[in-house]
Amino acid sequence: MAKWNSIRLNYAEGIFAKAGFMEKRRVVVTGVGALTPVGNTGAQFWDGLMSGRNGIRRITHFDASSYDAQIAGEVIGFDPLDYLSKKDVKRTIRFTQFAIAASMQALSDANFTITDLNSEQVGVIIGTGTGGIDWLEQQAGILHDKGPDRVSPFMVPLFIYNMAAGQTAIQTGAKGPNSCTVTACAAGSNAIGDAFRLIQQGYAQAMLCGGTEAAITPLTVAGFAACRSLSRRNDEPDRASRPFDRDRNGFVLGEGAGVMLLEELHHALARGARIYAEITGYAMTSDAFHMTAPVESGEGAARAISLALKDAGIYPDQVDYINAHGTSTEVNDPIETRAIKTVLGEHAYRTTVSSTKSMTGHLLGGSGGIEGVATALAVYHDRVPPTINLDNPDPECDLDYIPNVARTLPVEVALSNSFGFGGHNVTLVFRKYREGK
């Protein structure tokens, strides 16, 4: 059987090689956009991270005074009319508007224009965990209070998960591959990884990709609080999200979107694009263990990290920085630490690690989008964001988590980790662009 499997694999590789699929094209990040609790553009987001700005505050989207968890990372000052017409604002909802805005920012940042000549080679993949749950809650209330005849005819097309990607394509004119990843808190990173693969294998020249979420709603907050996932540090919102700290007591919900423009290298060079970083590796694995809890040993996460490095052709001791999933929960933080140490060995203690969720909260399906943006910018600027509120490190979390103050250091290779309910594990590998490498 082993011999037969080897023959089948060799045969398949031969077919793909003849078809040209084994020639991997290089993929680079040329534009970024972000709507986050610490800034409403890519530049503002980066400045917020570098200054250690805290985006957690008491919830204003609804009256949460009777809830166990009353704090969140809200996007403040966002006006969809800055990006959409009045008509289109009425036909989109918050998670979709975030995605469109971040995508338009990424295109502008990259100085990239989608035209009739290139539109079929530009695609969109936007991940989300809850889609239009705010709209769904509203319409469910109308159904309950006023009956089925009062439900909006836009009820379905506004809340379905793929609409962020679909509407982004409509608004930008991108006619290439279009998809939506829905893998809980790994969704944004899966979207970036899948877009990377499409360009790498020749199915697109450029892709808008990332994650979006607008889940600060009564039902979502109540649900996460009911499963005891959320921090109840309501009187100290600026100290509530504290990954790797022994006083952490749950994550803080956040909202927003992070989108990057990926391009095939020669395509980017031909138009003189600025290159933030190159994506060189992507892997996803499954714990196949539990619907919410990760494997205690971190085995599934470790395999994702290891396979992504192998895909990138990078040795573990070459990693300079890891943007951790780092949720600020009792379970996740030590398990991710074990996974990192399993793969990097002693080099783990020489690697800088941080969780930007300490500042933004946890954007669920949008987290991989903004954290991918942060990782690419760390590579570009040779600066790494801090983990704020890290005052009393958990003894089980004994790596260099860059406590409280950003740090300047050479970043040649960086990883971004995302792990989601259901046992989804994703790692992306970014490295500094070097000609000829």
Q: Which of 209, 325, 397, 424 is catalytic?
A: 325
Q: Which burial class, exposed, middle or buried, applies to 17 when counting CB atoms under 10 A from its CB (0-12, 13-18, 19+)?
A: exposed
DSSP element (H, E) containing 413: strand 413-420
Lookup: tokens for 227 = 């499963």
Identify whether the C-beta of residue 255 lies closer than 8 Å to the C-beta of residue 363. yes
Q: Which of 185, 267, 397, 424 is catalytic?
A: 185
- DSSP 8-state symbol, 295: P
Tell me which residue has tokens 């009425």.
90
Count other Cβ atoms within 10 Å, centred on residue 285: 21
Spell 404-425 as b/e; 16+ CB within 10 A means b: eebbeeebebbbbbbbbbbbbb
346's CB contacts (< 8 A; 6+ apart) are none
* Cα 128 versus chain centre, distance: 9
Tell me which residue has tokens 């982004």.
168
Identify whether the C-beta of residue 104 lies closer than 8 Å to the C-beta of residue 267. no
Identify whether the C-beta of residue 301 lies closer than 8 Å to the C-beta of residue 419. yes
362 is catalytic: yes
Q: Supply the residues annotated as catalytic.
A: 185, 325, 362
